[in-house]
Structure 1
């Protein structure tokens, strides 16, 4: 069975509710996955906007998600005592920051990518950003799954 990623907060290729946007409640949307390879020792996740005016913009990066986990709850980054490691996004915050495309832009795509990794933990400096974390995660990826939502600022 292949690794799959879904969200109960939005459907594939459909608009993200405003509560997940930066100008809304800025909540991390709920995610669930299944079909991880038996060799999985942890997971890493990245949230990217490939439609940003200056190139791909990273809204969130999470690593060291335990292998036995099969979901991240809505607002996952608001429980740091239980949360895996968040890396600095392109806003400069070590958390999730939701969609914030320029007003009047066409709808942007927000791709949530989950990688099953062959290591229990990524050893990356605290100051590292999402791009560095994801590049390291890709070196250890067994399989990857994604779910995409859209968002447009009126």
Structure 2
């Protein structure tokens, strides 16, 4: 069976840069703490540690998103969306995506995820649906402020990101519920 495409394959190409994590890795099973107890079966909804480097010159801010394109919907499932992260910030601690954004840098804005809350919600694919990919993406942006607020949907955030992206760093762990 052919590997499904990345949803980012369909967006304008931008340079890649590096993202690392003490919690997640490409193609590796997501730890229980990064899966969902809110919409799933016993996870902890703790956002993973992320650190990035090598982003393009001229970066004025960052955004971080988490998207599951394998959800049984025509539009996938947004788990997290944060933007207006200052350009001097190159790391988010594990748990930074908690309720109220207390672990995020000053000025960062979180949009409502598809579970209906302004926080990170962990992986929670339907039982027996097979492995799902979770695209954690750090977007390097050409503006310090996207000019939108926390009332927009993740799709509107993504729309704005596509017009301001200078580069992307992607890490894609997987999760499956038997």
Match of 1:21 in 2: 35
TM-score (norm 1): 0.94
User: Which SS does the other structure have where 1:48 is aligned?
Assistant: strand
TM-score (norm 2): 0.81
Q: CA deviation at 1:127?
A: 1.5
Pairwise CA RMSD of aligned residues?
1.6
Q: Which has the higher strand share?
A: 1
Match of 1:77 in 2: 97
Is contact 1:115–1:138 with CA below 8 Å preserved after alignment? no
User: Which SS does the other structure have where 1:76 is aligned?
Assistant: coil
Q: CA deviation at 1:74?
A: 0.1
Instruction: Choose 17-26 or 73-82, whichever is displaced more.
Output: 73-82
Is contact 2:109–2:149 with CA below 8 Å preserved after alignment? no
Gaps of 5+ in 1: none
**Any runs of at least 4 consecutive aligned residues in structure 1 with deviations exceeding 4 A, and if so which?**
none
Q: Does 1:135 align with 2:149?
A: no
Q: Quick one: structure 1 residues 39 and 152, their matched pair in 2 at CA, closer, same or farther if it must change by over 3 Å?
A: same
Match of 2:111 in 1: 87
- State the distance in 1 between where 2:65 and 2:97 align: 13
Match of 1:8 in 2: 22
Instruction: Choose 16-25 or 123-132, whichever is displaced more.
Output: 123-132
Gaps of 5+ in 2: 1-14, 38-42
